[in-house]
Amino acid sequence: PFELEGQMIDIRCSIGIAQASGTQAGADQLIKNADIALYAAKSERGGAYRFFEPKMQELLTQRQTLKAELAAALDNSELELVYQPVIDLFRNRVSSFEALLRWRHPERGLISPADFIPIAEETGLILPIGEWVLNQACLEAARWPRGVGVAVNLSAVQFRNKSLSRTVADALAKSNLAPTRLELEITETVLLTDSEANLDVLHEFRKLGVKIALDDFGTGYASLAYLRKFPFTKIKIDRSFVADLGEA
């Protein structure tokens, strides 16, 4: 670590390593292999190193193919929403549904969000996809009984879009859905990146009348101080804290 303008800075490096052999194709291929290994090292954590393995090339090719196919998935109507019910145990009824995004690939079948959401965030495709999800969920919820709401997850990347609050307002207007029936779920990452600007956006949401839920609380670095800075309507504690409640 070194001091920069009064702050201690800790810079780490990631390293990709490729070893030459008798069958090596040449310097260009060696550098390419090292670059692929570097990509694998960066995907793990800061300060990691990886040796090149042939399967890395295959995984990288698959990822690049998935990127290209995801770009066309929205236009080809391959994305769909499923709805997970939220049960009010006190009243013994469904109080709302959480909209969950799925990608039904024409050849691969259902692709896990864990596989394509990071790609969508990396490429910026999460912006048009997220807008589509918001509009579809609001339109669907408008057909439900009045007491039933819908929750939509927002990516931290979507907060880089300065017109995010306008996008939410437009979705409500197009669907004629009451703002109080829409709940937007965010993660702690939103609070940790450009927190003041993002908190301003959250306050804009509240002015619209929508609810705000903090998802997976307790898994990141957000402190209880954030809960005082913004009046969340719901806090969803990460499952790791409650998984063993039923055991002695």
pLDDT digits (tens, 9 = 90+) for 167-217: 999 999 999 999 999 999 998 778 766 677 888 898 899 999 999 998 877
Judge whether residue 220 has pLDDT over 80.
Answer: no
**Whole-number pLDDT of residue 9:** 75
C-alpha distances in Å from residue 6, one per residue of 2, 3, 196: 10, 6, 22
Cα 60 from Cα 32, distance rounded (Å): 12
Mean pLDDT of the chain: 86
Q: Which residue has the higher pLDDT, 66 or 103?
A: 103
What's the pLDDT tens digit per position in 52-87?
988 888 878 878 888 889 989 988 999 999 999 999
Contact indicator for 215, 244 with CB cutoff of 8 Å: no
Instruction: Work out the average pLDDT over 150-166.
Output: 92
CB within 8 Å of 173: residues ≥ 6 apart: none
Residue 40 CA to residue 49 CA, distance in Å, equals 8
208 vs 17: CA distance, rounded Å:
52
Confidence (pLDDT) at 180: 95
The confidence score (pLDDT) of residue 194 equals: 63
For the ranges 9-23, 142-156, 212-226, the one whose mean pLDDT is highest: 142-156
- Interior/surface letters 181-208, b for 16+ CB within 10 angstroms, e for the rest: bbbbbbbbbbbeeeeeebeebbeebbee
Q: Out of 46-55, 78-87, 97-106, 233-242, which region has the weakest mean confidence (pLDDT)?
A: 233-242
99 pLDDT more than 90: yes
pLDDT of residue 148: 95
The stretch 25-48 carries a mean pLDDT of: 83
Report whether 101 contacts 125 (CB < 8 A): no
DSSP of 99-144, one letter per residue? EEEEEEETTTEEE-HHHHHHHHHHHTTHHHHHHHHHHHHHHHHTTS
When mean pLDDT is compared across 15-24, 26-35, 92-101, 223-232, the lowest value belongs to 223-232
Residue 219 has pLDDT above 70, yes or no: no
Residue 244 has pLDDT above 80, yes or no: no
User: Could you tell me the pLDDT band of residue 226, with boundaries at 50, 70 and 90?
Assistant: low
Tokens of 238: 């990460």
SS3 of 246, please?
Answer: coil
- In the block, tokens 């806090």 appear at 235
Cα–Cα distance list, 59 to 47, 82, 110, 129, 173 (Å)? 21, 29, 19, 24, 43
Q: What percent of the chain has pLDDT over 90?
A: 44
Q: Give the pLDDT score at 83.
A: 96
Residue 247 pLDDT more than 80?
Answer: no
The CA distance from 138 to 173, in Å, is 9
Can you give the pLDDT at residue 6?
77
- Would the pLDDT of 222 be above 60? no
